[in-house]
């Protein structure tokens, strides 16, 4: 995995300034500490920080062939098959990311059609005088653009654009309302004024410093539920899962996986164990307090049954307070998901042994695992309601003004788009989540927390072959007897029964609310005094909230405000962490 950035300036603009180019590269160093690459031609700059995974010797970027030059952040898992199909092509390296360059020369803007992987790609075409930017259809890898003086800039992370001085540090209020109510933001516009995401599957063409064309592709199959029985569906699913995990293991460096007590990661481990002759290295996190949801025991049972080498870490309160400013700092595109905490610590531990980890992100969305899907498909008279119908601050009186009703507009737009193609209400709910929740919370969390430690995260459930096998399944093979992910549970019951696939979903709960409650008076004073929080919330009410956490929603609201205080300090005020959470919040 890598970091990319660049400038696309108009012919009459000044050439890229060397100090700006240097800051873009330096800010993304954590994404690619194994080397840097720089291509500057006239008013175009393509920059690359490399985390070497495949072709460690000759895979340095940029790549140039004919009139085109490419930098990429990603993995093209089917690169070997594509190379064979492109017989007669002269490849200069054995790197997977050289393949898209030759596909571009052959197919033009349709070059991503056959790619199977995760990627953010930039290609400068000298003859056409264009730069093309593309992002993978699931949104696994990030890419951001911003209008700047004289043209456009792009980067793998918004903080590169901010640290280079290309974009001012200003909050977009409507996105801030989304963040508070949803814990993530939706659509193309980020929380920063002037910075946009490329959407999942989007390709844009830029010329003369501006965007001149956009189009998107999707890996979600069109149409309603198909007709297939359970036995046939299980056979097809086994084939698709094995193929995907096999492809996701392609690496020239050591790899492992993140193992929870749930069925998604157990499925990934089962397939890795099937495909590897040596024990798979699996990492699990747990907590040091007895009443927290801790999955280590169940994970250990699964790991033992599958012959894995199992490594566990225990996260305690002192560790969280010490490192929380760093953890939040890596979430420049903010997602206030408290699962960033264990993900960051797992990545730090994994970095000691591997450069690549496979994980189960996407399983709930592909196979319909969330309880909210059951609620969304019920009629209103049976308690059904739309997903994300209420926000986290609806019943917590602490903000200066209630979030405007428009905080749900992005979700509503995703719901409308998901309703196409004759999909069932269940598939529409899944597609809605895959438009925003998945790329802008779960995958963003995985990308930032792992890349902070130069570890690459791979998600074999988010594969077009798996989507083709699972997304259009009949609703009864997704939801049955009050349980989601029915077919995946049946597969796991057959292959790894000790995984207890029909046990109720436990979830991975972080005890942050209890920890905040224990330090509430001190944290309340510090959080209430932060400029970002004081702008949106009544300081007296903030102090009262932290001092009297009685219900889960109070604890979650306190966590949201603590996250936002640290995030605003780092990414709007531009102040780095100054010690632990208490020292950082006190250092104004």
Residue 105 CB neighbours (<10 A):
17
Class of residue 492 by CB neighbours under 10 A (exposed 0-12, middle 13-18, buried 19+):
buried
pLDDT the model gives residue 506: 62
CA separation for the pair 547, 533 (Å, rounded): 16
Mean pLDDT computed over 6-11: 97
Residue-wise pLDDT for 527-570, tens only, equals: 999 999 999 999 999 999 999 998 888 999 999 999 999 999 99
Residue-wise pLDDT for 205-222, tens only, equals: 999 999 999 999 999 999
Residue-wise pLDDT for 510-527, tens only, equals: 889 899 999 999 999 999
CA separation for the pair 205, 200 (Å, rounded): 15
pLDDT the model gives residue 246: 98
108 CB-near residues (< 8 Å, 6+ apart): none
Beta strands in 336-387 (DSSP E): 356-358
Residues of the chain with CATH 3.60.20.10: 2-216
CA separation for the pair 344, 325 (Å, rounded): 12
* Geometric angle at alpha carbon 464, from 458 and 468, rounded to 5°: 135
pLDDT the model gives residue 422: 87
Does residue 508 have a pLDDT over 70? no
CA separation for the pair 67, 64 (Å, rounded): 8
Query: In degrees to the nearest 10, what's the CA dihedral of 103, 106, 109, 110?
Result: -70
Mean pLDDT computed over 86-100: 95
| Residue 270 near residue 495, CB atoms below 8 Å | yes
Within the chain, how many helices (H) and strands (E) appear? 24, 17
291 CB-near residues (< 8 Å, 6+ apart): 511, 514
Residue-wise pLDDT for 120-160, tens only, equals: 999 999 999 999 999 999 999 999 999 999 999 999 999 99
pLDDT band for position 1 (cuts 50, 70, 90): low
547 CB-near residues (< 8 Å, 6+ apart): 520, 521, 524
Residue-wise pLDDT for 33-65, tens only, equals: 999 999 999 999 999 999 999 999 999 999 999
Averaged pLDDT of the chain: 95
With b for 16 or more beta-carbon neighbours within 10 A and e for fewer, the 189-226 pattern comes to: bbbbebbbbbbbbbbbbbbbbebeeeeebbbbbeeebe
CA separation for the pair 96, 334 (Å, rounded): 30
Nearest alpha carbon to residue 146 among 136, 132, 158, 134: 158
Residue for token pair 């997977």 = 96
List the CATH code of the domain at 2-216.
Answer: 3.60.20.10
Q: Identify the weakest region by mean pLDDT among 14-18, 142-146, 404-408.
A: 404-408
CA separation for the pair 207, 9 (Å, rounded): 8
Beta pairing class for 281-287 and 255-258: parallel
Does residue 588 have a pLDDT over 90? no
Does residue 404 have a pLDDT over 80? no
pLDDT the model gives residue 293: 74
pLDDT the model gives residue 507: 56
Fold of the CATH domain 230-370+440-499: Rossmann fold (3.40.50)
Residue-wise pLDDT for 153-194, tens only, equals: 999 999 999 999 999 999 999 999 999 999 999 999 999 999
Cis before residue 170, ω within 30 degrees of 0? Answer: no
* Geometric angle at alpha carbon 225, from 224 and 227, rounded to 5°: 130
Does residue 374 have a pLDDT over 60? yes
Phi/psi at 203 (5° precision):
-125, 130
Distance of CA 252 to the CA centre of its chain: 23
- Residue bearing the bigger pLDDT, 482 or 33: 33
Does residue 460 have a pLDDT over 60? yes
pLDDT band for position 505 (cuts 50, 70, 90): low
Phi/psi at 382 (5° precision):
-110, 20
Strand partners, 121: 72, 134
| Residue 98 near residue 91, CB atoms below 8 Å | yes
Q: Where are the alpha helices (DSSP H) in 91-189?
A: 99-107, 158-163, 173-182
CA distances from 566 to 73, 174, 400, 556 (A): 28, 19, 19, 15
Mean pLDDT computed over 312-330: 97
Mean pLDDT computed over 432-453: 98
pLDDT the model gives residue 567: 98
Residues of the chain with CATH 3.40.50.620: 230-370+440-499
Does residue 381 have a pLDDT over 80? no
pLDDT the model gives residue 96: 97
DSSP 5: E
In whole angstroms, how large is the CA radius of gyration of the chain?
A: 23
Query: In degrees to the nearest 10, what's the CA dihedral of 185, 190, 192, 195?
Result: 170
CA separation for the pair 220, 362 (Å, rounded): 13
């Amino acid at each position: 995995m890598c970091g990319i950035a660049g400038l696309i300036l108009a012919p009459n603009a000044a050439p890229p300034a060397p100090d700006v180019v240097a800051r873009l590269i330096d800010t993304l160093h954590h994404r690619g500490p194994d080397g840097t690459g720089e291509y500057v031609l006239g008013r175009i700059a393509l920059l690359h920080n490399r985390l070497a995974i495949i072709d460690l010797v000759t895979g340095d970027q940029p790549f140039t062939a004919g009139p085109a030059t490419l930098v990429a952040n990603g993995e093209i898992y089917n690169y070997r098959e594509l190379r064979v199909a492109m017989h007669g092509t002269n490849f200069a390296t054995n790197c997977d990311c050289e393949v898209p360059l030759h596909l571009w020369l052959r197919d033009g803007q349709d070059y991503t059609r056959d790619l199977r992987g995760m990627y953010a790609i930039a290609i400068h075409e000298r003859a056409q005088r264009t730069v093309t930017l593309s992002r993978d259809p699931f949104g696994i890898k990030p890419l951001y653009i911003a209008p700047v003086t004289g043209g456009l800039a792009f980067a793998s992370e918004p903080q590169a654009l901010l640290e280079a001085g290309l974009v001012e540090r200003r909050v977009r209020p409507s996105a801030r309302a989304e963040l508070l109510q949803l814990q993530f933001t939706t659509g193309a516009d980020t929380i920063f004024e002037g910075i946009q995401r490329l959407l999942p599957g989007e390709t844009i063409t830029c010329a003369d410093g501006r965007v001149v064309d956009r189009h998107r592709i999707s890996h979600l199959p069109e149409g309603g539920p198909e007709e297939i029985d359970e036995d046939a569906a299980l056979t097809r699913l086994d084939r698709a899962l094995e193929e995907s995990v096999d492809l996701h293991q392609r690496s020239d460096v050591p790899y492992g996986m993140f193992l929870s007590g749930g069925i998604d990661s157990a499925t990934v481990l089962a397939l890795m164990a099937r495909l590897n002759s040596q024990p798979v290295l699996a990492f699990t996190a747990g907590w040091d307090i007895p009443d927290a949801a801790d999955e280590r025991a169940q994970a250990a049972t699964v790991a033992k049954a599958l012959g894995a080498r199992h490594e566990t870490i225990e996260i305690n309160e002192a560790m969280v307070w010490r490192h929380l400013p760093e953890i939040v700092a890596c979430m420049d595109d903010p997602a206030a998901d408290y699962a960033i905490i264990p993900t960051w610590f797992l990545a730090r531990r994994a970095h000691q042994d591997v450069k690549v980890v496979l994980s189960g992100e996407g399983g709930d969305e592909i196979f319909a695992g969330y309880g909210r899907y059951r609620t969304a498909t019920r009629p209103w008279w049976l308690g059904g309601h739309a997903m994300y119908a209420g926000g986290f601050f609806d019943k917590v009186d602490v903000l200066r003004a209630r979030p405007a009703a428009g905080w749900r507009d992005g979700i509503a737009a995703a719901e409308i788009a998901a309703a196409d193609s004759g999909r069932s209400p269940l598939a529409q709910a899944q597609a809605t989540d895959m438009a925003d929740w998945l790329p802008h919370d779960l995958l963003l969390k995985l990308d930032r927390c792992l890349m902070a430690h130069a570890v690459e995260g791979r998600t074999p459930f988010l594969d077009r072959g798996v989507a083709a096998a699972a997304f259009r399944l009949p609703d009864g093979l997704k939801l049955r007897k009050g349980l989601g992910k029915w077919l995946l549970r049946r597969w796991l019951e057959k292959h790894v029964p000790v995984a207890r696939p029909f046990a109720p979903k436990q979830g991975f709960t972080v005890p942050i609310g209890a920890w905040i409650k224990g330090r509430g008076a001190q944290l309340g004073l510090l959080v209430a005094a932060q400029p970002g929080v004081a702008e949106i919330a009544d300081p007296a009410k903030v102090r009262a909230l932290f001092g009297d956490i009685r219900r889960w929603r109070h604890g979650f609201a306190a966590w949201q405000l603590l996250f936002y205080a640290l995030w605003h300090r780092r990414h709007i005020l531009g102040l780095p962490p100054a010690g632990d959470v208490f020292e950082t919040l006190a250092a104004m």
